[in-house]
Structure 1
Amino acid sequence: MSVSMTSSRRITIALAWGAACHGAFAIGVGLMIYHLFFGLLQSWGAVPWPWAIGANLALLTQFPLAHSLLLTPRGRKILALIGPDERLATTNYALIASLQLALLFAFWTPSGVILWQAEGALFWTMCAAYAVAWGYLMLAILQSGVQLQSGMLGWLAMARGRDPQFPDLPTHGLYRVTRQPIYLGFALTLWTMPTYTPDQLALAVLWTAYCALAPRHKEARFEKIYGDRFRAYRQRVPYWLPFPRKAPQDGETPAQ
């Protein structure tokens, strides 16, 4: 096979992987936005009760479990083995996460119970809050490195015939006031819809706990990668909620 054919095939595969990843991302996020707005009452699952409890619990836990396990050293090795090129690892991660979201929100079996539903001016206030939460999340994704978060980093590197160039430690924009704006934004989307149901509350409680705890593992990885630079950043910027930090004690050097 000629070099040009090899290059052509590599680019074709990379573009196909990218299309699959971004298509799945759009579907997964779209389903999440739609079904969360209605408190998961519009989801299409039809497992008979009480078996639906187990099915919903499985859907509820599969996303945070896989999302965390695939970021471990062994998980990253598995991601690199999926597909024809190890550079697609980050694309595979985004693709799998998107499919997991689509699976959960499409096949959740609704309880049919409404605990609270906003009406009148409050309905539009909650709609605005929901839109702001999603806008905040998208801005956090953009500022953290949209190529990495969207899965573009892997397939684009393969198409160019280069190694992936990972973004630097984000410390600008939203990252100046909280170290984990993506997890915070994700949690906000779980609580700002105008319809509250047992389904939505189960999802919100479990996934908010995940959003609060999971970044600990990410930060341990960042500390190994960035060392003193990350430790200085961690000292001056709050972990999750943007509360003011205590001033340095006498004799301490403020982080630069």
Structure 2
Amino acid sequence: MLQLIKAALRPPAGPGRISLALGVGAVTHLLFTAGVLAMIIAMFHGMSASLGRVPQPWAWMVNLLLIIQFPLGHSLLLSRRGGRWLSRLVPGPHGGKLASTTFALIASIQLLILFTLWTPSGIIWWQAEGAVFWVVCGVYGLSWLLLMKATFDAGLEVQSGALGWMSLLARITPRFPDMPTEGLFRLIRQPIYVAFALTLWTVPVWTPDQLLLAVSYTAYCLLAPRLKERRFSKRYGERFERYRAAVPYAIPAIRTGSGDKHAE
């Protein structure tokens, strides 16, 4: 990541390419930040404070579609066909380099759509108060910090969309981070999905809306990484198989003594 930043700070001549890289990067990071903030705020209120106003009984159907569109789009874009589509989405010769940034941009828009256009049911089952409120808020905040740590360990430049536009700015081929095995990835193979699942269940307000979201996306967090691991198995072969044999999927194991170095 540091080498990518240093190279991007000294881009060779090419005003059109530089403008494209900086413009796409700015829009992507703005929408990425907005999507994350919308998610944090909406779930903090148990999905009871969104902007959607679809009348019942259609509201639940629309809300289900909002839930489904994110994992479906995510999985499609991570496929081979989706990768080719991402490379062609930006017209001209730079679409391939910007593919990872385009992916993050689309994912950010999907998050914004989900968490701002949700139609609240208006039903609140439980709301933390007093000391319990502050305890739950602390756990909710820790869950988000855990998610941020897992994202950093996985390669922040890829997760945030910076890899594509910074590579274009520096006029170099995008170089994806190696298979993550350090940090939280030493404890479990899927810390991002586990941390995200924790954010779903540690909110201070509980509604039918939040329960639907939590159940749906927890199932996604448990099942979707199987597809990711298939891709890793094809890409890294025996190295990933050793890692998979040594590190649990989602629940850390209690270790005794010193373990083997699984990722060599």
TM-score (norm 2): 0.90
Give the SS at the match of 2:14.
Answer: helix
1:116/1:195 contact within 8 Å kept: yes
Paired residue for 2:8?
none
Matches within 5 A, 1:36-47: 36-47=43-54
1:70/1:93 contact within 8 Å kept: yes
1:238/1:244 contact within 8 Å kept: no
Measure how far apart 1:243 and its partner are.
2.9
Paired residue for 1:219?
229
Counterpart of 1:201 (choices 211, 215, 221) is 211
Paired residue for 1:156?
166
Counterpart of 1:53 (choices 49, 55, 60) is 60
Tell me the alpha carbon deviations over residues 151-197 of structure 1, each in whole angstroms, 9 at most, x when there is no partner: 00001111111110100111111000011111111111111011010
CA distance in 2, matches of 1:78, 1:223: 23
Measure how far apart 1:245 and its partner are.
7.2
**Corresponding letter in the other structure for 1:15:** L
Paired residue for 2:81?
74
Matches within 5 A, 1:51-200: 51-84=58-91, 85=94, 86-200=96-210
TM-score (norm 1): 0.93
2:49/2:120 contact within 8 Å kept: yes
Give the SS at the match of 2:202.
Answer: coil
CA distance in 2, matches of 1:190, 1:64: 15
Paired residue for 2:253?
243
Tell me the alpha carbon deviations over residues 5-63 of structure 1, each in whole angstroms, 9 at most, x when there is no partner: 97111011011000011000000000000010000111010001111111111111100
**Corresponding letter in the other structure for 2:55:** P
CA distance in 2, matches of 1:187, 1:50: 28
Structure 1 residue ranges, 4+ long, deviating more than 4 angstroms after superposition:
253-256
Give the SS at the match of 2:201.
Answer: coil
Tell me the alpha carbon deviations over residues 57-104 of structure 1, each in whole angstroms, 9 at most, x when there is no partner: 111110011011110110111111111321111001111111100001
Q: Report sequence identity in percent.
A: 52
Measure how far apart 1:122 and its partner are.
1.0
Paired residue for 1:8?
15
CA distance in 2, matches of 1:33, 1:220: 30
Q: Structure 2, unaligned stretches of length 5 or more? A: 1-10
CA distance in 1, matches of 2:126, 2:60: 21
**Corresponding letter in the other structure for 2:211:** L
2:12/2:170 contact within 8 Å kept: no
Q: Structure 1, unaligned stretches of length 5 or more? A: 248-252
**Corresponding letter in the other structure for 2:35:** G
- Which deviates the most, 236-245 or 196-205? 236-245
Aligned length: 248
**Corresponding letter in the other structure for 1:238:** P
Tell me the alpha carbon deviations over residues 105-132 of structure 1, each in whole angstroms, 9 at most, x when there is no partner: 1010000111111111111110000000
1:236/1:245 contact within 8 Å kept: no
**Corresponding letter in the other structure for 1:47:** V
1:63/1:97 contact within 8 Å kept: yes
**Corresponding letter in the other structure for 2:23:** A
CA distance in 2, matches of 1:130, 1:54: 28
1:238/1:245 contact within 8 Å kept: no
